[in-house]
Structure 1
């Protein structure tokens, strides 16, 4: 892991701490049973094991089409297929060595073939990638280690520093990005009536939910007796969270045809709070500044930031500083939700673009902001990825000014995919563009000020910006 150290040169009456560095999409192979993915949507930075939340998720079994055909034979057939899939899943989890070395290499190849967005056309094209498959599969793959080495070389040939291989040990470390606290990944799926239901699209192997009996493809019906139908995946994941070692009751329907089961699952949050905050008194004594440092975007980032902001407001803070120096990123979805806390309803957070339709969209804030007070965001050359999403969303919508150094310039979207032997690949699947349509990848964001400005200047600049946009 590479760690960058940087000393920020900002001068102000506000005493600030030195920055501290803290740091299966898969199209299943026909010969393999589908295995539940670990955490698939995580973002990578160029420098560390931080990961991203725009993902290609494993396909679910097809929904029942009995209402279309009126035939119970179709439903029975699908239920048998569902039962067989679950049995295969269990069998494979207990014996990952059943997958061959060649199948692992093919699996990694297919993920890239289906999802990868190449930035260097001299090194990536469908034709070149097909030739790569023929070349690597013509070699002898007698050991799993050799298969992993082949995958590493395949990915390095793409010329993308963010697309890379993860060993099983590296892959298992991603539990700290589990947003649920019980080891599940949820996705919103429309039912036959167009209403949203929540399906389990991934599980942490041997995590609390997996151990309790939750399986990939299960539908989440309720949490602690609260019906979750119509709720977003992020809302449900937030409800699932709670103190480690406490229990949450969930009700799930197994697969498309299985029974409904209620179970108590013990939470096991691995993440540590990334938020540090304090109240500062300005020199004139007439105003108070709420200082919040956010070290990374992990599963607790949004919740703990909300707590910090509310406490600082209660203590009388009328100005705020959000310190994103040396924050290399983390979960993009957490970054997006944090940006929304400061934006007005309808404001654009970010634009995304990619090969898959779900990666092409405009993301906007849905409700009024948590705070409207003037805000400074501190950035430096190690402010990257999800941090840059937050910084540009607040800046481009006239909610904050940026102080410090030009940011890193990480504007690509990665997804993490689990392979059938517990290893994984991180693949670039898209890019994001700022609300002002700036492509920051490789460019970074220039701050408004190098040194800390006076607060009256901050307020005037934000007010002028808002009038110009209005």
Structure 2
């Protein structure tokens, strides 16, 4: 059910945005295989942990797309079979680097050191140690068996967010675009042990995808430079160039497909997640700056979301906006740091954005704004049941500091922090390591945030409510 937020003076101004498509997070930190690597702390709606690894970097396209470069359905099947065989080969080689038992113990240790039991009744150090002793006596003859043991081990935690990632799942999550044409490359050993470069990630509607490159294709050359024996990093260095310039690539469509020369135009493939406009209300007497933020996703360049919202706020101010509406409906979250930085744009120096709490009860830290706010005018934040994670951080930061009122319906209630760790064989574990608490000390997770109003109030009512909130806050401090 959708809630249409309206009043008599603005019933058609802000219809709810369309239901968002599944997304996955971008641009994790690079990881090395020598040590378990903390990739990034993330949060996301329960209905979307895969959402959260949101991604224009897509799985194999449907046959209607892939068939553009296959002569028959059998070649598509061949490609899928090639990928399956390569994955199995890679898993078979993995024991040369680390034993099956060591991989399981590595995952066990990460949970032992980092896991936060939000239920406070499913996990204990003693029970977890017993789990390790049980594992030691288990025969793990294959890597697949080891991965199954890790999955079962994590399932006993009772945490829907803590889970295992296979090597292929981890590689999909860890991709980001360094190429400038919207592809991710990975080095894959062939049957002779030599390295070939395969396209294991594509940004939908990016330059390479639009030119006909598909996931699973092998990259053979760039601008006539043969890539045989070259690393993925070397290939990416050749691919990179100024935006709007062209690069020629030679690709082989699957292990048994045709070879094709493709010209691709480089471009910044990230699309702005911010939409804004100036609205006139009260018969043209009031100018309102409306900003819709679809997601927190810094794909392709650092601080994309913060920069775009900053630009929107400045432009709307220059156009005469005296009030602001920030639309976070159906924003399922994403990169939490982006949400924190956006909240700071509205807060006074020293005001609390959010508290973070870890496993130790005394380990509570506050994140505060370091500068003065960009705007001080009243703000309405639109929320609904799909407002989650980083979006809830923004909403509560503005609300609890008397900077905004919330309008709509109760938010989702996702306030947990997940960290993603890489294991030595290229697989990974996602572990809940902490939670967020609002400036008013509300535990978001499982509770959500109740709005102040279900429908848009008059602006004089907004001003009055925020004024009372600020006066009360001053008395309390």
Q: Identify the TM-score tier after normalising by the shorter chain.
A: 0.5 to 0.7
SS in 1 for 2:435: strand
2:322 is matched with 318
Q: 1:172 to 1:392 in 2, by over 3 A?
A: same
| Bigger Rg, which one | 2
The CA deviation at 1:270 is 6.4
User: Aligned pairs, how many?
Assistant: 349
8 A Cα contact 1:277 1:308, kept in partner: yes
The CA deviation at 1:413 is 1.5
SS in 1 for 2:122: coil
The 5 Å alignment of 1:71-90 reads: none
Q: Please say if 1:302 is aligned against 2:300.
A: no
2:114 is matched with 115
8 A Cα contact 1:176 1:269, kept in partner: no
**Structure 2 CA distance, aligned partners of 1:413 and 1:38?**
13
Deviations 1:175-214 (A, max 9, x none): 57799x9xxxxxxxxxxxxxxxxxxxxxxx99xx99379x
Match of 2:417 among 413, 416, 419: 413
The CA deviation at 1:245 is 8.5
Q: Please say if 1:380 is aligned against 2:389.
A: no
The 5 Å alignment of 1:67-466 reads: 96-97=94-95, 98-175=97-174, 211=233, 271-299=270-298, 300-355=304-359, 360-466=364-470
Q: Tell me, which stretches of 5 or more residues in structure 2 are unaligned?
A: 23-30, 54-89, 181-199, 202-230, 236-240, 246-265, 299-303
Q: 1:268 to 1:386 in 2, by over 3 A?
A: farther
2:68 is matched with none
Q: 1:164 to 1:138 in 2, by over 3 A?
A: same
The CA deviation at 1:50 is 4.9
Deviations 1:225-267 (A, max 9, x none): xxxxxxxxxxxxxxxxx99789xxxxxxxxxxxxxxxxxxxx9
1:230 is matched with none
**Structure 1 CA distance, aligned partners of 2:388 and 2:403?**
19
Q: 1:136 to 1:244 in 2, by over 3 A?
A: farther
Q: 1:245 to 1:331 in 2, by over 3 A?
A: farther
Match of 2:14 among 3, 16, 31: 16
**Structure 1 CA distance, aligned partners of 2:39 and 2:291?**
28
Deviations 1:295-345 (A, max 9, x none): 211112212111222222222222111111111111111111111010011
Aligned-residue CA RMSD (Å): 3.7
2:190 is matched with none
SS in 2 for 1:469: helix
Deviations 1:410-461 (A, max 9, x none): 1221111111222221111111111111112211111000111111111111
8 A Cα contact 1:176 1:271, kept in partner: no
8 A Cα contact 1:243 1:269, kept in partner: no
**Structure 1 CA distance, aligned partners of 2:390 and 2:324?**
20
8 A Cα contact 2:39 2:419, kept in partner: no
